[in-house]
Amino acid sequence: MAIKTRQTTATGVTNNNAPLTNAELDNNFVELQQNKVDASGDTMTGNLSFGDDDKAIFGDGSDLQIYHDGQNSYIDDTATGYLHLRGDSRVKIGSVISGETMASFIADGEVQLFHNNVQKFATKSTGIDVTGEVKADKFVNDESLPDVRPSLLLDFANQKALDPRITFTRGSTATYWDGKTTAKAEENLTTYSQDYTKTVTAGTGRWSIMDASTTTGITAPDGTSTATQFTEGSAASEYHGLKYTNNTSWITNTEYSLSVYLKNGDRDYVTVVLHGASNNYASVEANLSNGTISRTSASGFTVDKYAITAVGNSWYRVTLTATTNTSVSQPWAYIAGSDGTTAVAGRGMVPYNGDGSSTFSVWGVQIEQRDNTTAYTATTNNPIVKYQPVLQAATVDEARFDHDPATGESKGLLIEESRTNGVSASATLNTSLAIQNATWRTDSVIAPDGTQTADVLVPSADNSFHRGYAGLTTASTNTISVFAKAQGYNFLRMAQWNASTGLNDWYADFNLSSGTATGGGGSYYTSASIEDVGNGWYRCSVSGSYNAANGIVLNVCNTLGGTYFVGDTFSGVALWGLQYEAGSFPTSYIPTSGSTATRALDSAYMDITAGTFGDELTVYAEVDDAPKGYFPRIISLRDTTSNAGPFDFYTSSGSAIGNDSITARIYGFGAVRADPSLSYLSRKLAAAYDVTGLSAMSDANTTVQTDSSIVFPQANRIYIGAYSTTQGLPNVGIKKLALYPKKLSDATITAMTEE
């Protein structure tokens, strides 16, 4: 409230600001009384604004001050106690402009720090977790660290490049995760996509009911009571239904896709419209009595594609994709009744006299800025745009520097054996898998490679199992893997099936909500695993050893291991990238299209001059997982003239998964001279030797393992992840290799391998 004042001139002559009269003073006093804040406490019903450098001051000594100086904002506390910033259980610091998180604090849990909205640092119950490179001006450690520089340092995890002296080959393309490339996945630019009576805050878009009344609690396509029935009014109008006003303009000359689920009551026809300014629009009219599109119309906008698809219980999903023009400043979407005969009006709808009683039901409105409609994603008070990691393809002879797709952690140089995918159409599962008590919703979900090629397996309403299956040539040991994502149902069972017995020889169950695998099913089961690959996708795999089976089975389940249930005919599980390979563990995804395909092995080695490392050496290795395969090597130094040692880090556990020991072996002129076994977790190994003996250590050992005096030949080649160009592949990411021209002390190799 402003107080009225007047001014006089120097001569006492009043201008427009004459002295206040008694009546005016009384009025000011009354207004002040009405708007005062009680000194003992009161309630504000509006904003309290402070100018630049005006402070909100708290405490007897003005200890706490909050203010803005015109450019920066401050919270100053000069008290001797603590400044407490407290939330109930979670506190976040972020950007009000972009919405990205900068720091997150969780009660009884993690403190997380972010860079560009990606977590880089987190406290754990066991210490800290850092994603990416750690740099420091000075590192102080009481333990013994190497006192010489390495003669060879291959830091694959950080450099993500090959030393030019390395010869690398692979005779095929291969897949990997690069840790940075993403694709837009789920998107819905509407708010409250299935609740049209909500009061929506300004700036996010809003719904309007047009000449209609609503009844909520109608059974929706997914079986929930979240759909809305519209009963039209009796106005002579084109507005009988629902309007969405988007507060952000469309982008010109851009494709948008509008989709909505509709069900006929007794209003057979409904128009669906994308609308811009100046009556520029694209619309389709759906006939809900026979499930057809009865007509299309456009002005300014271009209708690119449209469809109507039955989804069960008389519900249809109507989709419209259109390209905008330059008049896009008033973005609207309409879902309105139509009489099926009257001509379309200027907004793309049909003007007719409502009968005051006809109805149709609406659920799941979605607007996407893309050239096709994807699976429905529900929204509440904010639009949704999600992104997911994109699986990459390396060309022939291109090295792969793999990453954890969910965290972005660099795993180093990926070295794998050759494998064949026995599924002939790995990405189009609606063609490679037959189905029982289920249907396919094809190409409806963005797949892990960023394409809209993932199919949803939807259970029927039969009280039975709901599955896809295929007969394939089997080997003595096989692994099934597939990328899966919950689409209403959270559980998947994968099995190898025996036609002669009608039973599963081995299987595993997967929880796509918690990201866990439960194995042990069947007499010939060996192992199961699940890998988070981002945005709700998981790569699920199961392995078994019996070769009499002749098929694979993928069951959608509503509980863990519960194969029999009644489906709602809408929910399901998205599936993509099916792989069936001979071996006891899964390898990287091998795409197929029309026939089986083979990924060639990775080969990497470096030739050196014999005698480069003299008669003493320390070898350090860091990998991202336990090596697996046929006698896999992490690193091997060999004399190619005699195909002898002198050194290997390897495991002899054959094709078993989860090796718990690594051997540091010294060869000497055709004989094993030393081979102490090391306990092994997942990360670090070191071995130091000279003519007097060998000392070796791992991240899991408590004491150094030693062996006696040795004699060994000189190496002229270093194999990375093998012991030849064809054998001993570890099937893991090799993060770092280092060779020191000295036998380092036991204390040093212990310090090097500590986690």
Residue 130 has pLDDT above 90, yes or no: no
Task: State how far the Cα of 634 lies from the Cα of 648, in Å rounded to an integer.
Answer: 8
pLDDT higher at 164 or 519: 164
pLDDT at 553 over 70: yes
pLDDT digits (tens, 9 = 90+) for 525-550: 999 999 999 999 999 999 998 776 67
Q: Give the helix/strand (H/E) hosting 24.
A: helix 22-35
Sequence letter at residue 586: P
Give the Cα separation of 318 and 320 in Å (integer). Answer: 7
Spell out the SS3 assignment of 629-654. CCCCEEEEEEECCCCEEEEEEECCCC
Q: Which three-class secondary structure state does DSSP give residue 30? A: helix
Q: Which of 192-196, 215-219, 727-731, 734-738 has the lowest mean pLDDT?
A: 727-731
Q: Which CATH class is domain 190-382?
A: mainly beta
Give phi and psi for 568, each to the nearest 5: -90, 5
Distance CA(398)–CA(160), nearest Å, equals 12
pLDDT of residue 13: 42
Long-range contacts of 290-293 (CB under 8 A, 24+ apart): 291/316, 293/318
Mean pLDDT, residues 708-712 taken together = 74
- Residue 463: CB partners within 8 Å, gap ≥ 6? 564, 565, 566
Tell me which of 209 and 547 has the higher pLDDT: 209
pLDDT of residue 140: 52
Confidence of residue 21 (pLDDT cuts 50, 70, 90): low
What residue type is assigned to position 588 of the chain? S
Sheet holding 467-470, edge to edge: 434-436, 467-470, 551-557, 491-498, 503-511, 516-521
Q: What percent of the chain has pLDDT over 70?
A: 89
Whole-number percent of the chain with pLDDT over 90? 58
Lowest mean pLDDT among 146-160, 280-294, 305-319, 696-710: 696-710
| Arithmetic mean of pLDDT over the chain | 87
pLDDT beyond 90 at 653: no
User: Can you tell me the distance from the alpha carbon of 184 to that of 445, in angstroms, rounded to the nearest whole number?
Assistant: 11
- Segment (H or E) for 573: strand 572-582
Mean pLDDT of 395-403: 98
The per-residue pLDDT for 39 is 60
**pLDDT, mean of residues 630-647:** 84
Distance, in Å, from the CA atom of 285 to the CA atom of 262, rounded to the nearest integer, reads 12
- Label residues 211-227 b or e (16+ Cβ within 10 Å = b): bbebeeebbbbbeeebb
What was the pLDDT predicted at 440? Answer: 97
Q: What is the mean pLDDT of residues 75-80?
A: 78
Q: What is the pLDDT of residues 172-189, one digit of tens each?
A: 999 999 999 999 999 999
Determine if the pTM surpasses 0.75: yes
For residue 182, count other CB atoms closer than 10 A to its CB: 14
What's the pLDDT score for residue 7? 47
Q: Are 705 and 676 in contact (CB under 8 A)?
A: yes
pLDDT at 26: 60
Determine the pLDDT at residue 15: 45
Q: List, in sequence order, the alpha helices (H) in 570-629.
A: none
Reply yes or no on whether the pLDDT at 141 is more than 80.
Answer: no
pLDDT confidence tier of residue 586, bands split at 50, 70 and 90: very high
Range with the poorest average pLDDT among 57-61, 335-339, 603-607: 57-61
Assign 172 to helix, strand or coil. coil
Contact 308, 316 (CB under 8 A): yes
| Per-residue pLDDT at 136 | 59
Q: What pLDDT sits at residue 171?
A: 97
Q: How confident is the model at residue 629 (pLDDT cuts 50, 70, 90)?
A: confident
Q: Is the pLDDT of residue 34 over 60?
A: no
Q: In angstroms, rounded to a whole number, what is the distance separating the alpha carbons of residues 645 and 674? A: 11
How deeply is 468 buried, as exposed, middle or buried, from its count of CB atoms within 10 A (0-12, 13-18, 19+)? Answer: buried
Q: For 607-629, what is the mean pLDDT?
A: 87
The region that residue 153 occupies, defined by phi over 0 for left and psi between -120 and 50 for alpha, beta otherwise, is beta
Mean pLDDT of 289-312: 96
- Structure confidence by residue, pLDDT tens digits, 452-467: 999 999 999 999 999 9
State which H helix or E strand residue 23 sits in: helix 22-35
Architecture of domain 152-168+604-752: Sandwich (2.60)
Closest Cα partner for 260 from 212, 205, 308? 308
Give the count of beta carbons closer than 10 Å to the beta carbon of residue 109.
Answer: 14
pLDDT at 625: 84
Residue whose C-alpha is closest to residue 556's, from 439, 467, 427, 680: 467
Asked whether 750 and 705 are in contact (CB, 8 A), the reply is no
Query: Are 232 and 211 contacting, i.e. CB atoms less than 8 angstroms apart?
Result: yes
What mean pLDDT do residues 183-207 have? 83
Q: Which of 106-120, 131-145, 494-508, 529-543 has the lowest mean pLDDT?
A: 131-145
Least Cα distance to 230 among 245, 258, 211 occurs for 211
Taking residue 393's Cβ as centre, other Cβ atoms within 10 Å add up to 13
Per-residue pLDDT tens over the stretch 666-690? 877 667 777 788 876 558 999 998 8
What pLDDT, on the 0 to 100 scale, is given for residue 449? 97
H helices of 97-256, where? 156-159
Among residues 732, 613, 618, 750, the alpha carbon closest in space to that of 678 is found at 750
**pLDDT of 90:** 75
What is the pLDDT, as a whole number, of residue 186?
A: 97
Residue among 198, 295, 310, 217 nearest 264 (CA): 310
How many CA atoms, within 13 angstroms, populate the side-chain half-sphere of residue 294? 20
Report pLDDT for 107.
79
pLDDT at 690: 86
